[in-house]
Chains A and B, each alone.
Chain A
Amino acid sequence: MDPECARLLPALCAVLADPRQPVADDTCLEKLLDWFKAVTEAGSSLLLLQEHPCLVELLFHVLKPQDLSSRILSFALRLAGIFAAQENCFQFLQQGELLPGLFGEPGPLGAAAWAAPSVRSGWIQGLHSLAQHPSALRFLADSGAVDTIFSLQGDPSLFVASAAGQLLVRVLDLALRGPAEGRVCPQAWDWPACARKVVCHLEDCLRSEATPRVTQALHVLTTTFGHCRGLWTQGLWARLSPLVARLLEKDPVPAPHALVDLLLGVARSPVLSSDPGLWETAAQALSRLSPTQAGPLAAGILKLQDCPQALRIQAFSILLQPLAHVLEATAQAPGTPRLLEGAAGDLMAVDTFPPSRSACVGLLCSALAHLELLQPLVGVARPASALAAGPAAGTDAPSPPQPQRPSPWPQAPLLAAVVTILRFCNGSAAPSSEAGGRLCAMLVGCVRVQRAALDFLGVLSQGLGPQELVTQVFAILLEYLVSPDSSPTVLKKAFQATLRWLLSSATPPGCCDLEPYAQLVLGELLAVLQKRLCSPCWEVRDSGLEFLTQMTRHWGGQGSFRQALLGSEVPELTRQLLQDPESYVRASAVAAVGQLSSWGLLTAPSSPEHPAVPQKTPLEELLLVLTTDSEGFPRRAVMRVFTEWLRDGYADVAEDPEQSVAPVLRAASRDLDWEVRVQGLELALVFLEQLLGPRGPSTAAPPGALTQALQALCRVQLFEFAFRSLFDCDRPVAQKSCDLLLFLKAKATPSGSQQEVGDGPNVASVEAALRRWQAGEQGQPLGELAPEAVLAVLRSMDLEALRDTLAESSDHVERSPQSLLQDMLATVGVLGDNEADCY
C-alpha cells in the first residue's frame, strides 16, 4: 500500500464507521473492495491488519448495536471475508471472536438488518471469500452457517438465491477436494460431515415434489460439475444420478431447462463423460422431454466432442423432427424426400406441432437456429462402426476430437424443408393434410420464422443440392425479394442468402464465373434491385445497395454480370442515391459507387434534357459528399472508398495520386467527425507506403526517393494535418497520427545512421506552433514547410514517449486507489477542500 493511501485510510475507516456521515455510493464501496482484494492477493492480510489497526476497529465497530446502513454492514461482511481468506489472518480474526460475531447467530443474521437483501448478499459473499482453507470449513460446520445457506437458496431476491447456490458449490468443493485428492474415487462414507450434509440436502431437494427445490438442486449440481474437475465429482454423480434419472420418469418432468443444463454440464466434464449411465440418462431425457425442451439438449449433445453414435442419431432426429413434420405436411406423393426414416419418421407422424402459434413458431425457430450452428462444423465423420463402438473408440484418433457435423448430413431434404417453410410463410405452399392446413395458418406472414429460415438457407449454400432443389431455392429467394410483403429485415436476410447461393454456384468453386442458371437469375435479380432501390423504406434501399456492393465486389470483372448490370438502370439509380435523405443510405450508396466505378461500371449518366452539361466523375462526386454532407456516415464511407481506391490502384486515382489525395486530405483534416480524421490519416499512410515502400522492419527509403516523397507530402499538406492530429482531443486520431509520423521517421532515419545536427533548418517557429497546439490553441497555421524542417522536427520529437502516453487509458489517473480514497473523503468534506476530481 502506498504511503498516501496508508495516510488516508484511518480517516476513511472513521467515516465509514460513522452512521451520521452520508455513505459513499455503492460503486465506491465496490472499488474499495476490489482494491483490498488486490492488496491482500499481493501480500499478507495479517500484516495489513497489524499495520492498519483502523481496519480491525472498523470491523469491530460494525458489531456494535447501532444504526449502521445496510450497505456498510454488507461491505464489512465482504471485507472480513476477503481478509479471512488467508488462514493465519482467519485465526487472527477468530481470536478476537470477530468472525462468529459477523457471520454467526449474534451477528446481523438475527438482527433487523437481515431483512435487507444487500446484507444477506454480503453475508454470502463474505463466506464465499472466506471458504478457502480447512479452518474455514470447520467454522462453517460449527457456526451452523450451512443451514442458513440452505434456506437462502429460496430467498426472494434472485441475486441472494443464486449466490447461495454458488456458496454451496464452494463448500462442497472445499470439503471434498482436500480428502479426496490423490484417490481414484472417494466413497461417500469418507466424506466430511459438512459435505454429507450438503449432499443429503441436495438428495432431499431432488426427491421433493416442489419444482423450485428441484430446480435449486439442479442449479447447484450444474455449477458443481461445470466448475469442479476433481475426481470426487465422479462419486457425487454416481450417488445422485439415479435421483436425476428418476426425475425423468415424472409426468410432467420437473424443471426441464435446469435438467438439460445439468446433463450437458456433466457430459462436458472430462471427469464424468466416460460414465455410460450418463448417455442412458441423456437418451431418456431426449425421449421424455417435449421437442421444445429437448432441442437445446440435442444441440448440445451434437456439439460434444465425443459421445455414442446412437445418441447422436437420436439427438439429430430431435432437431430434424419439426422440419420433417413440415415436409410431411406438404408431401403429395410417397416419393418425396423424407428427413427421418424408420422409427423416428413414424414417431413423428403422431407427434405433431404444439397447438399454439407462439409455441409452434418458437420450436421451428430454435430447430432452425440449432441446425444452422451444426452445418459449418467439420463434415468428415468417423466411420459408423467406430462410432457405434462407443466413445472409447474415438480415442484412437491421432488428432484431438473435434465436434462434428452429424453424418450423413441430409442436405437435400433439409433444403426441401426450408424451402417449404418459406413457402408456408408466404402462403404459397399447398398443404396435403389438415395438420398442414393448421401449420399454414400459423406460419403465414410470420417474420420470425422467415428470418430464421433464410439464415439457415444461406448456411445451407455451403453444401450443394440436386439442381432441381437449387432451382427451387433461387425461385423462393426471388419470390421473397419481389414480394411487397417482405419486411425490411426479411428482405435483408433474403439478399444475404441470395448472395451466398450465388457465390456457391460459381463453377468450379473459387472461380468467379456464374453458373448459367445463376446468370438467368441475375436478370430478374437486377429488375428487383431496381425497384428496391426506389423503395420508400430506407432500410430496403440500404440493404439493396449493400447487396449490389457485394455482388459487384465478386463479379465486377465478369462478362455476363457486367453486361446485365450495364443494361439495367441500377448504376444510375445508385448514383442518384448519393443524394438520399437518409444518411445510412448515402453511406451505402458511396460504398456502392466506389465499388461500381472501380470496375468501370458507373457509366456517365444520360441526361437527355441537358446533353451539353459535363457530368461529374465519381471522384468528384464523392469529394462533394465528403465536403458537403452533414452526417458522419457518408463521409466515413467516402474515406474508406478513397483508401481502397488508392490501395488497389483504381485508374482515376492512379493516374495522379497526389492530385487526387490532396483535396481529400484537406477535407478530412477539417472534418468534425474523429473517425473521418482517423481514416484520413489511414489514407495518408497508404499514400506514404506507396511513396516510400511498405511498413516493415526499418527499411530506410533511398535518399532521393525520400526527398521526392517529402516534397510531395508537403505539397498535399500532410504534415500540418498529422502534427495537428497529434494533439487531437480524440485519442484514436492522435494515436494514428503518432503511428504515421513514427513510420515516416523510421523511413527517414534508419537505425544506426546518425544524422548530422550541424546547421539544420530553423524549426523554432514550427516547434512554437506545436507547443501552442498542445496548449489547446488551434488557430495558428503552420505555414509553408520545407522537407528538411519536417525531418528536423521529427527528430526532435519524442514520438515513442508520446505513443506510450497515448496508449494509457484516459482515466488512468482517476483510477488510482489514492484518487478513490480522496474522492470518498471529499464527498463527506473531510479533506476540507474540493480539490478531488469530480468523477
Chain B
Amino acid sequence: LKLYRKRHPTLPCNVLKFKSTTIMLDCGLDMTSTLNFLPLPLVQSPRLSNLPGWSLKDGNAFLDKELKECSGHVFVDSVPEFCLPETELIDLSTVDVILISNYHCMMALPYITEHTGFMGTVYATEPTVQIGRLLMEELVNFIERVPKAQSASLWKNKDIQRRCYTMQEVNSLVGYSQKIELFGAVQVTPLSSGYALGSSNWIIQSHYEKVSYVSGSSLLTTHPQPMDQASLKNSDVLILTGLTQIPTANPDSMVGEFCSNLALTVRNGGNVLVPCYPSGVIYDLLECLYQYIDSAGLSSIPFYFISPVANSSLEFSQIFAEWLCHNKQTKVYLPEPPFPHAELIQTNKLKHYPSIHGDFSNDFRQPCVVFTGHPSLRFGDVVHFMELWGKSSLNTVIFTEPDFSYLEALAPYQPLAMKCIYCPIDTRLNFIQVSKLLKEVQPLHVVCPEQYTQPPPAQSHRMDLMVDCQPPAMSYRRAEVLALPFKRRYEKIEIMPELADSLVPMEIKPGISLATVSAVLHTKDNKHVLQPPPRPAQPTGGKKRKRASDDIPDCKVLKPLLSGSIPVDQFVQTLEKHGFSDIKVEDTAKGHIVLLQEAETLIQIEEDSTHIICDDDEVLRVRLRDLVLKFLQKF
C-alpha cells in the first residue's frame, strides 16, 4: 500500500497503490505560476505595452523582449503557463483509475488523459464533471481569445511549464454512496464532503482494509449537501488533504467584512470588483447579498456577473437539487428555485454577460459591483476592470478566493489607487474541525501533507494551527513515496458449496472447530475460490486421461495436523510413569526444556514446536514422540 504525493495540499494529486490497483486521487492544477506573467488585456493597454524590458545586471538585454519590469517586479510577457503534473515519480499510463473529489481538483486532468498514455477511467460526480468542464471552458476561453503573437521560451531553462490545454471530455459519472468495483480487488465509494456542489470524499476498501480519502470538505452550512462523516468511521488509514488555506480567517467573519466593505464603497459612489471563479463561493456571496442589499439600502446598485460560462453556472446550480443541502432541496418541491440569485436575475438586480463586449457595454451603469474572473488577475475580464478602475481611490477590489496571494496578483497593476480588501472565504475544514472530525471517526492512522503537521512558518507559535491527533499523523512531502502503515493480513476466499459439504469440522475447544481442506485455489479478477480437488488420477488410462491429469497438481497424502499444548508437569509425570528418571525441567524464554539426564536426551517444548534431541537412538525418539503426541489432538 503506497502513497505517492505529487502536488501541494490544497490542489492534491496523490497516487495510491492498493491491492494491485493504482488509483490517482485528484488531479489539481497549480496555477500560481501564472502570477509570473503579465496580464492579458482584452483591450489594448498602453500602460502594459509600454513597460520597460528587463536586462541582466551586466547589461545583457537578450531577455528584454520576453521579460518586462513593473514597479520593481519582473514579469514574463507571454501566454501564461501552468505547472504540469509530475511524471518522473510514476508512469502515468499505469494508473488504473482517477478519483476526483471536487471540480477545483480536476483542472490538470487533460494533461494526464491526453499526453501520458493513460487508459483508465476517471470517476467523478455529475456536478463535479459539469462545473469542472465550465471552469476549464472559462480558462481556455480566457486564454484563447487574447492570442499573443508568440510564446516566450528563452526565459526558462527547462520545460517545466506547459501552455494551457484545449477542451477535453471527462468520463464516468457516479452518485454519492454508489459502490464501484475496481477489478474485483477494491471497491470505491464517493461520500458527500459538503464543500462544493457534488464534492466528495472517497472510501477505498477491500474486504479487510479501508482507506478514506478526505479532500476539500466543509462542515459549514453552505449550499452543498452536508458532509457525510459517519461513513468515514473504522478506517485503517485516513488520508487528509485539502484543508483550508487560510486557517486564521473565519468564513463568516469574512463574509461580514465583504459586505461591509462593499456597502461602504458603493455608498461612497465607488465600484466594487470581485475577482472570482464562476462557481462555488459566488453562489453563497450572491445569497448573502440578496439578504443584505435591501437592508443596506443598496437595492438600486446593479450587480454584474461576467464570465463566458456565467449563464451556465447560474443555471446548473439550480438544477442539481439532489446535490444541495436539505433547505435548498425542500425549496425545489414548492416549487421554487433553490438559490435566490434567480430572483436577483428576475428583478434585474443581477445581470450576467459572457464578456464585457456586446450587451454589457450598453447596460453598464456605475456605481456597480462586478463579479468576474480570473482570480489571478492575469487573464479574463477582470484585467479590463483593473485597468479601468485602478486609478480611483473610490473603487475597491475585494479578493474572496484564497488560491492566490493578493499582493502578488496586484503586482503588475502597481501603482494602484483603488482600495484593496482581502477577505478570503475558504469554507474547507480548519484545524479545530479536523480535531473534532478525527475524534469522531477515529481512524487507526492519519496520513497528511507535512505542512499540516506543523504550524505555518509565519506563525510558528500557533500550535493550534496544525493537525493534532493520537497517534500523531504520518506526514509526507512533495514527490515522496510513503508506505502506508499497515500490512494486509487477510484475504477473502470463497468455498464452493460441494467442497464445503465435504468438510468435517472437529471442535478443538468450545466454539472453535477446525477442518482440513484439500482443494484447488482458483484466482480470477482478484477473486479467490476454493474448488474441490479433481479425483486422483487413475494409474492406467488412455492418452486423453493422462493429458488431463497433467494439469492436476500432485495430491500428496498429508500428515495429520496437531493442535493443543503440552502441560509440562503432567508430561514429566507421564515420563516418570514410563520409567524415565532423573528428569530436570528448565524454563526458557520460549517454553521449557525437559532434560533426561540418564538418557542424555533433550526435549525442547515451545509454543509452536517440540524437538526431541537424542543421540541417534531412534527407538527412544519414537517412544518419546508418542508420549508427546498423547497430549496433542490430531485431525
Contacts and interface: CB of A to CB of B under 8 A. Distances in A.
Q: Do these two chains really belong together in a complex?
A: yes
Interface of A: 427, 429-431, 436-438, 440-441, 444, 483-485, 530-532, 534-537, 540, 569, 572-573, 576, 579-582, 608
A536 B292 contact: yes
A579 B298 CA distance: 12
A430 B461 contact: yes
Contacts of A440: 461-464
Given A484-B423, A534-B259, A535-B260, 18 more contacts: A427-B462, A429-B461, A441-B463, A441-B464, A444-B462, A484-B254, A484-B256, A485-B253, A531-B260, A534-B267, A536-B291, A536-B295, A536-B296, A569-B268, A572-B267, A573-B267, A576-B297, A580-B295
Contacts of A438: 463
A420 to B, nearest CB: 13
Interface string B248-292: 111001111101110110011100000000000000000010011
Contacts of B540: none
Contacts of A441: 462-464
Nearest to A485: B253
B607 interface: no
A84 to B, nearest CB: 62
Contact of A576 (B267, B423, B461): B267
Interface centre among A429, A444, A569, A572 (most CB of B within 10 A): A444
Contacts of B250: 484-485
Interface of B: 248-250, 253-257, 259-261, 263-264, 267-269, 288, 291-292, 294-297, 423, 459, 461-464
Given A579-B297, A580-B295, A484 B464 contact: no
> What 10 A-B pairs are tightest by C-beta distance, nearest first?
A484-B253, A534-B263, A484-B257, A441-B464, A581-B295, A536-B259, A534-B260, A441-B463, A485-B253, A534-B264
Contacts of B268: 569
Contact of B464 (A444, A485, A535, A569): A444
B269 A608 contact: yes
Given A536-B288, A536-B296, A569 B267 contact: yes
Interface centre among B248, B259, B462, B464 (most CB of A within 10 A): B464
A554 B292 CA distance: 33
B256 A535 contact: yes
Contacts of A581: 294-295
A535 B259 contact: yes
Contacts of B249: 484-485
A147 B248 CA distance: 63
Contacts of B259: 534-536
B260 A532 contact: yes
Contacts of B463: 437-438, 440-441
Given A437-B463, A440-B464, A484-B423, A531 B267 contact: no
A531 B265 CA distance: 10
Nearest to A531: B260
Nearest to A538: B295
Nearest to A532: B260
A656 to B, nearest CB: 32
A383 B295 CA distance: 61
Nearest to B255: A536
15 contacts: A430-B461, A431-B461, A440-B463, A441-B463, A444-B464, A484-B256, A485-B250, A535-B260, A536-B260, A536-B288, A536-B292, A540-B256, A569-B267, A569-B268, A582-B295
B296 A534 contact: yes
Contacts of A429: 461
Nearest to A609: B269
B171 to A, nearest CB: 43
A536 B256 contact: yes
A724 B194 CA distance: 62
Nearest to A576: B297
B230 to A, nearest CB: 26
A436 B464 CA distance: 12
Contacts of A537: 256
A427 B257 contact: no
Contacts of A484: 249-250, 253-254, 256-257, 423
B374 to A, nearest CB: 25
A532 B255 CA distance: 13
Contacts of A572: 267
Contacts of B423: 484
A427 B260 contact: no
Given A438-B463, A536-B288, A427 B295 contact: no
Contacts of B248: 427
Nearest to B250: A485
Nearest to B298: A534
A610 to B, nearest CB: 13
B422 to A, nearest CB: 10
A581 B257 CA distance: 19
A532 B260 CA distance: 7
Nearest to B468: A441
A441 B462 CA distance: 6
A530 B261 CA distance: 9
A555 to B, nearest CB: 23
Nearest to A530: B264
Contacts of B253: 483-485
A306 B194 CA distance: 62
A531 B264 contact: yes
Contact of B461 (A437, A580, A608): A437
A536 B294 CA distance: 11
A429 B257 CA distance: 23
A431 B255 CA distance: 30
A209 B292 CA distance: 63
A543 to B, nearest CB: 14
Contacts of A436: 461
Contacts of B267: 534, 569, 572-573, 576
A583 to B, nearest CB: 12
A536 B291 CA distance: 9
A540 B463 CA distance: 30
B256 to A, nearest CB: 5
B455 to A, nearest CB: 9
Nearest to A434: B463
Contacts of A536: 255-256, 259-260, 288, 291-292, 295-296
B396 to A, nearest CB: 11
A825 to B, nearest CB: 55
A374 B121 CA distance: 72
Nearest to B254: A484
Nearest to A540: B256
Contacts of A483: 253
A431 B459 CA distance: 11
Contacts of B464: 440-441, 444
A579 B295 CA distance: 8
Contacts of A444: 462, 464
